[in-house]
Amino acid sequence: MIPNIKRSLSSSPSPPLTPKKPKPTKSSITATTPKKSPSASSSWTNEKKSAFVKRLVETGYKSMDWRLLAEETQTTEEQCKNQLKPGRSNLRKTLLEMFK
C-alpha cells in the first residue's frame, strides 16, 4: 500500500520559472505601422533582382578566399568554385532561378 502524502503550498516568494507574456491591448494592436499597398511596392522587379544576384556571384567568385571557404565547408577549393560556375546545376543556378 502506498502511503497518502499531503503536499503543502510552497511559501517560497520566488517567481515562476517562465515569465508570463503580456497580453496585447487594443491600442498596441492598432498602433502598428501601416502596410504598403501593392501599387506602392518596391521597384525591385525579378529582372533587377536577378541582375543583382548575378553580379554578386560574379564579384564573389573573383574575390573569394577559396581556401578558407573550403576549410569552413569541409570541401575542396575546386568543389566550392564549381558551385558558382555558369552552365551547371549548382548554387549559382539555384540563386538565379529564384527570380524567374
pLDDT in tens, 48-70: 999 999 999 889 888 999 999 99
Rg, Å, the chain Cα set: 28
Q: Residue 95 is part of which domain span?
A: 65-100
Residue 81 lies in a domain: yes
Q: What is the pLDDT of residues 7-23, one digit of tens each?
A: 666 565 665 566 666 76
* pTM for the predicted model, two decimal places: 0.51
Q: Per the domain annotation, does 52 fall within a domain?
A: no
4: Cα separation from own chain's centroid: 53
Q: What share of the chain is helix, strand, coil (3-state, %, to 5)?
A: 45, 0, 55
Whether residue 100 contacts residue 46, with contact meaning beta carbons closer than 8 Å, is answered with: yes
Within-domain flag for 88: yes
Residue 56 lies in a domain: no
Number of domains observed in the structure of the chain: 1
